[in-house]
């Protein structure tokens, strides 16, 4: 498989594993006002660099995100807008300097962009569920490189589609060959496992449903009853109600065998035209229709365009000075969610911008009484004043007069990125609290959720988890040195639930290897043996 190389790649391929694990700090909670409809709760908006934020999400969400949508900076070289389109944001520059080092000074704009994207995509891949899908918006500046990087991280076999979104309504008259589209690359974690949904009919498609024969099942459309190919038992002659005999058109056979056709006729599901003389067509009823299959051409009429997205955000944040300049239309993200999510899906957008993804999630929930939840991450300071503020207004309702939009309901928590769990000298940062450290170790030990225990369990406050085979014990005191000795072992009373193996973390251990092996104990030293991920 061809792979892409660029200056600095060697420094970032495994960088995601050495990003310090930081604690997410819950700053505030927002609930839609009374009177708004029920919508999803337990949503999150995180203010901070998504590299740190995605890492912090791993213990709780690894393999659990059903749908990721990202719209990263396009790296067009246009630096007029507030966000780091050319990867020149001071925070990202500093990060590149630290990760890539001196070599980083010679990086081209494209090298920098790829260095920025690679470790973030690696973490997104880990967060995606095994039947989940990721959609990535991009234009032609980085489409070629991004495709190769996605192939490398997700696997060429997991490429699902390259959607072409028609973002403009008319050509840019200043250009002789202006661009009108962007790409949305879709990849799966495991393509064989994904289930994509049909999409609702468009207004135009709906207008094709009619009821010329007053069928009690309601409006219908008819489709050709012939199919390409030759199947001997689907080549029979059909007599129309007017008495005319018809055979399948040349190169075709009928869609079904004769017995099925006769059942359909008896059930008034075949249409021969008003005069009963036409070639047979199959009726599909509006109330039985599961929607239509999506394809990769998304026209602005169906999913909105850039100008529509700008008007949307202006209507919502009309009183804000710096209204966001490059939002996506809500209808575009809604289309992604219609195809790729069920009503309980968890959706992640780690380049959140003006929060369109949350808006689309809430809107779709309101339409189908779904309980989809979202996690948004935004690095810039407008995470609160634009990203979260849009979501607050969409949940509460906004606008006046004929531009008024009713609140969609729901709630979210707002987080910032807090302290690292390890200090610079690799000791544990006690300030983050014992609960956080216990959760971290439970995750690195891979203790399944059903085996995890709280501190106030029946056995010992140090127990992290108990399965039929293994007990995981984290003998940790923030202000004291703990020692695995006979006293401590004597305090553990598992009775009939005593498992074969005990993995015990402590600062020190007084036993030799033979003793530990004989009693099925694996000793792990704090902090040396706590894994980093």
Which residues contact ligand SAM (rule: CB under 6 A)? 49-50, 71-73, 83-84, 324, 326-328, 351, 353-354, 356, 377-380
Cα torsion 318, 322, 326, 330: sign: negative
Q: How far is the CB of 529 from ligand SAM (least distance, A)?
A: 32
How far, in Å, CA of 143 to CA of 145, rounded?
6
Do the bridges between strand 226-228 and strand 252-254 make them parallel or antiparallel, or are there none, so unpaired?
antiparallel
Q: Which is nearer to ligand SAM, 122 or 282 (CB)?
A: 122
Q: How far is the CB of 210 from ligand SAM (least distance, A)?
A: 38
How far, in Å, CA of 460 to CA of 506, rounded?
14
Q: How far is the CB of 522 from ligand SAM (least distance, A)?
A: 39
User: What is the token pair recorded at 233?
Assistant: 């038992």
Q: How far is the CB of 73 from ligand SAM (least distance, A)?
A: 5
Q: Which is nearer to ligand SAM, 326 or 460 (CB)?
A: 326
How far, in Å, CA of 70 to CA of 50, rounded?
11
How far, in Å, CA of 373 to CA of 358, rounded?
8
Strand, helix or coil at 472? Answer: strand
Q: How far is the CB of 451 from ligand SAM (least distance, A)?
A: 34
Q: How far is the CB of 143 from ligand SAM (least distance, A)?
A: 15
Q: Which is nearer to ligand SAM, 191 or 310 (CB)?
A: 310
How far, in Å, CA of 298 to CA of 332, rounded?
9
How far, in Å, CA of 19 to CA of 58, rounded?
12
Q: How far is the CB of 443 from ligand SAM (least distance, A)?
A: 23
How far, in Å, CA of 503 to CA of 521, rounded?
6
How far, in Å, CA of 376 to CA of 387, rounded?
9
Backbone angles phi, psi at 99, to 5 degrees: -80, -45
Strand, helix or coil at 457? Answer: coil
User: What is the token pair recorded at 152?
Assistant: 């490398």
The neighbour count for residue 161, using CB atoms within 10 Å, is 16
How far, in Å, CA of 155 to CA of 3, rounded?
11
Q: Buried b / exposed e across 409-421, counting CB within 10 Å, b at 16+?
A: bbbbbbbbbbebb
Return the bridge partners of 422, or none: 428
Q: How far is the CB of 359 from ligand SAM (least distance, A)?
A: 9
User: What is the token pair recorded at 9?
Assistant: 């790649």
User: What is the token pair recorded at 235?
Assistant: 């080549």
Q: How far is the CB of 24 from ligand SAM (least distance, A)?
A: 14
Q: How far is the CB of 116 from ligand SAM (least distance, A)?
A: 7
Q: Which is nearer to ligand SAM, 49 or 142 (CB)?
A: 49
Q: Which is nearer to ligand SAM, 71 or 389 (CB)?
A: 71
Q: Which is nearer to ligand SAM, 337 or 377 (CB)?
A: 377
Q: Which is nearer to ligand SAM, 114 or 502 (CB)?
A: 114
Q: Which is nearer to ligand SAM, 117 or 436 (CB)?
A: 117
Q: Which is nearer to ligand SAM, 84 or 442 (CB)?
A: 84
Q: Which is nearer to ligand SAM, 327 or 409 (CB)?
A: 327
Q: How far is the CB of 55 from ligand SAM (least distance, A)?
A: 12
H-state helical runs in 25-142: 50-61, 90-100, 109-127
Residue nearest to ligand SAM (CB): 353
Cα torsion 259, 260, 264, 267: sign: positive
Q: Which is nearer to ligand SAM, 121 or 464 (CB)?
A: 121
Rg (the chain; Cα; Å): 29
Q: Which helix (H) or strand (E) holds 301?
A: helix 300-303
Residue 281 preceded by cis peptide, ω within 30: no
């Amino acid at each position: 498989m061809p792979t892409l190389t660029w200056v600095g790649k060697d420094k970032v391929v495994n960088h995601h594993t050495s990003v310090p694990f930081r604690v997410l700090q819950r700053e505030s909670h927002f609930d839609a006002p009374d009177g708004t409809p029920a919508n999803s709760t337990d949503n999150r908006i995180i203010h901070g660099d998504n590299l740190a934020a995605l890492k912090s999400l791993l213990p709780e969400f690894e393999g659990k995100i059903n749908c990721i949508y990202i719209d990263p900076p396009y790296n067009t070289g246009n630096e007029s807008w507030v966000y780091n389109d050319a990867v020149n944001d001071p925070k990202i520059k500093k990060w590149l300097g630290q990760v890539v080092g001196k070599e980083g000074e010679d990086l081209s704009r494209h090298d920098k962009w790829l260095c920025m994207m690679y470790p973030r995509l690696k973490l997104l891949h880990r967060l995606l569920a095994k039947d989940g899908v990721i959609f990535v918006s991009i234009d032609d500046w980085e489409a070629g490189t991004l495709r190769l990087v996605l192939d490398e991280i997700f696997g060429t076999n997991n490429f699902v589609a390259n959607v072409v979104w028609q973002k403009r309504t008319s050509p840019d008259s200043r250009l002789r060959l202006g661009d009108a589209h962007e790409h949305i690359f879709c990849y799966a974690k495991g393509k064989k496992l994904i289930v994509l949904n049909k999409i609702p009919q468009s207004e135009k498609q709906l207008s094709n449903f009619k009821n010329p024969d007053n069928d009690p099942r309601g409006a219908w459309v008819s489709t050709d009853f012939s199919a390409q190919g030759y199947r001997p038992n689907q080549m029979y002659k059909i007599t129309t109600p007017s008495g005319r005999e018809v055979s399948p058109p040349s190169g075709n056979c009928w869609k079904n065998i004769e017995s099925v056709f006769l059942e359909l006729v008896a059930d008034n599901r075949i249409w021969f035209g008003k005069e009963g003389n036409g070639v047979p067509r199959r009726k599909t009823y509006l109330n039985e229709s599961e929607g239509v299959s999506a394809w990769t051409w998304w026209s602005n009429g169906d999913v909105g365009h850039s100008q529509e997205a700008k008007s949307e955000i202006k209507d919502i944040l009309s009183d804000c000075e710096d209204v966001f300049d490059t939002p996506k239309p809500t209808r575009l993200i809604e289309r992604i969610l219609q195809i790729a999510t069920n009503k309980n899906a968890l959706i992640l957008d780690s380049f959140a911008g003006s929060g369109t993804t949350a808006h689309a999630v809430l809107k779709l929930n309101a339409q189908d009484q779904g309980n989809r939840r979202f996690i948004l991450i935004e690095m810039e300071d407008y995470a609160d004043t634009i990203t979260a503020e849009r979501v607050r207004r969409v949940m509460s309702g906004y606008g006046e007069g004929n531009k008024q939009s009713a609140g969609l309901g729901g709630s979210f928590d707002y987080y910032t990125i807090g302290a690292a769990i390890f200090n610079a000298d690799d000791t544990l940062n006690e300030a983050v609290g014992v609960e956080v450290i216990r959760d971290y170790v439970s995750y690195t030990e891979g203790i399944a959720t059903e085996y995890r225990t709280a501190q106030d369990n029946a056995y010992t406050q140090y127990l992290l988890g108990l399965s039929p085979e293994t007990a995981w014990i984290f003998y940790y005191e923030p202000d004291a040195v703990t020692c695995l000795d006979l006293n401590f072992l004597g305090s553990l009373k598992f009775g009939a639930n005593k498992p074969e193996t005990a993995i015990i973390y402590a600062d020190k251990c007084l036993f030799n290897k033979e003793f530990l092996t004989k009693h099925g104990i694996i000793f792990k030293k704090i902090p040396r043996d706590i894994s980093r991920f």
